[in-house]
């Protein structure tokens, strides 16, 4: 009689490291301190630090219930009404790229899934092409391109000396990249730094990308949520499109509509002709089919209902302005608290120059660990904090933690 050996066939599978962003929330939940703050994950909170479902989202969901809509499969490319409104929201209704049918839009699994579809397209049809990624960038960008087996390198972006944009370094690195590279750009509210190029700098970036025959690839995760204006936050993408450039744009509705768990977004590819756009769309569908078959319907209907209805659309814009305004108020209060409490005279004005839900504090890894270990402030180890998870009432406490970590920990 054979004796069963208690050895798993999966013995060779090693333990994966915790996710650097989502792992922060796990550590936060395990902390029993009353003073704890979760400034790790980029998710909007109310002044009471509670999750927020937009009123306009509730109305859109009620509409769906009233209509008795079914749960049938969507086509591979997603909900047609969603694809129409998401393209118009990004490029502006009547934009030539839409009118001339030079745009391939496919609904994706939020920003991450849309980026992953594009990465697979690059790997398949631009073999050996490199993607240039800002240093630093969102923690998942490198994972996505690694997983798709797309080579990448970094271009300079953040200048620790000024806690601002290293524009000369950025331009130099884009110029030095092999011709025909893909340049990953954050359309607005750069994550993690909150530092965006000026309109004049965007023009120069477009000049260099055109000169080098590179392909711009935008990640737009915060349209309307950064400045409070949908049009202002899409201006960088529209500038490149207006120059007649071919480009890729990944979109997400996690932040601006609060649809984090619905996984709703899109990949948009602007081509030089309608024929090229049709072929690109067919290949994006071909990539999506064995990956996840077709996208979910609930979030797509919410977006289609909100953006497609003038009354709901205007209400959404008002709610977005309120959310963006709350974050701006928190940003101002944090700056005021730091300036009032710091007796060493450090200039904290960089906090006010940043935009969006994040602030890049300039704290080192060791200083960030002090924030967590001593002050129960949970954040990523690169010094990024999510102001969306901060209340006005907690700004002074956070300022004390930052000043202590900055001046007392080296």
**Residues with catalytic annotation?**
138, 219, 255
Judge contact between 376 and 31, C-beta under 8 A. Answer: yes
Whole-number Å distance between alpha carbons of 230 and 90: 8
306 forms beta bridges with none
The string of DSSP letters for 196-218 reads ---HHHHHHHHHHHHHTT-EEEE
Whole-number Å distance between alpha carbons of 110 and 234: 17
* Tokens of residue 259, six digits: 């649809």
As a three-state string, the secondary structure of 83-100 is HHHHHHHHHCCCCHHHHC
Find out whether the peptide bond into 317 is cis, omega within 30 degrees of 0: no
Whole-number Å distance between alpha carbons of 167 and 149: 29
* Tokens of residue 101, six digits: 């049918």
**How far apart, in Å, are the Cα atoms of 234 and each of 177, 199, 220, 287, 364?**
26, 12, 8, 27, 32
Q: Dihedrals φ, ψ of 335, to 5°? A: -60, -45
What lies within 8 Å, CB to CB, of 306 at 6+ separation is 56, 57, 60, 257, 312, 313, 316
* Tokens of residue 99, six digits: 């009118």
* Tokens of residue 269, six digits: 């590819």
Strand ranges across the sheet with 182-186: 103-109, 264-270, 247-252, 215-220, 182-186, 131-135, 152-156
Give the torsion through C-alpha atoms of 92, 94, 99, 102, to 10 deg: -20
């Amino acid at each position: 009689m054979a004796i069963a050996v208690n050895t798993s066939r999966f013995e060779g599978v090693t333990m994966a490291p915790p996710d650097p962003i989502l792992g922060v929330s796990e550590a936060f939940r395990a902390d029993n301190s009353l003073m704890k703050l979760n400034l790790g994950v980029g998710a909007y909170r109310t002044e009471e630090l509670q999750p927020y479902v937009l009123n306009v989202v509730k109305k859109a969901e009620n509409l769906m219930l009233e209509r008795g809509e079914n749960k049938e499969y969507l086509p591979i490319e997603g909900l047609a009404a969603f694809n129409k409104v998401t393209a118009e929201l990004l490029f502006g209704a009547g934009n030539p790229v839409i009118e001339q049918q030079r745009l391939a839009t496919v609904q994706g699994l939020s920003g991450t899934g849309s980026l992953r579809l594009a990465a697979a397209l690059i790997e398949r049809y631009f073999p050996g092409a490199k993607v240039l990624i800002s240093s630093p960038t969102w923690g998942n960008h490198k994972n996505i391109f690694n997983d798709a087996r797309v080579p990448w390198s970094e271009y300079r972006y953040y200048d620790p000396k000024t806690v601002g944009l290293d524009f000369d370094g950025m331009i130099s690195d884009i110029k030095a990249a092999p011709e025909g590279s893909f340049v990953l750009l954050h359309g607005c509210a750069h994550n993690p730094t909150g530092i965006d190029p000026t309109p004049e700098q965007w023009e120069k970036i477009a000049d260099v990308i055109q000169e080098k025959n590179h392909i711009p690839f935008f990640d737009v995760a915060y349209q309307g949520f950064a400045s409070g204006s949908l049009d202002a936050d899409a201006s960088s993408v529209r500038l490149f499109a207006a120059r007649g450039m071919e480009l890729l744009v990944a979109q997400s509705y996690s932040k601006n509509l609060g649809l984090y768990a619905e996984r709703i977004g899109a990949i948009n590819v602007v081509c030089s002709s309608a024929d090229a756009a049709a072929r690109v769309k067919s290949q994006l569908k071909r990539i999506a089919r064995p990956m996840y078959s077709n996208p979910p319907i609930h979030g797509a209907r919410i977006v289609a209902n909100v953006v497609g209805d003038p009354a709901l659309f205007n209400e959404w814009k008002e709610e977005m302005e309120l959310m963006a305004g709350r974050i701006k108020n928190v940003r101002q209060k944090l700056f005021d608290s730091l300036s009032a409490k710091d007796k060493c005279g450090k200039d904290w004005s960089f906090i006010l120059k940043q935009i969006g839900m994040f602030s890049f504090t300039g704290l080192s890894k060791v200083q960030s660990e002090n924030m967590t270990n001593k002050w129960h402030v949970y954040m990523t180890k690169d010094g990024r904090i999510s102001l969306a998870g901060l209340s006005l009432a907690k700004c002074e406490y956070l300022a004390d933690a930052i000043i202590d970590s900055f001046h007392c920990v080296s």
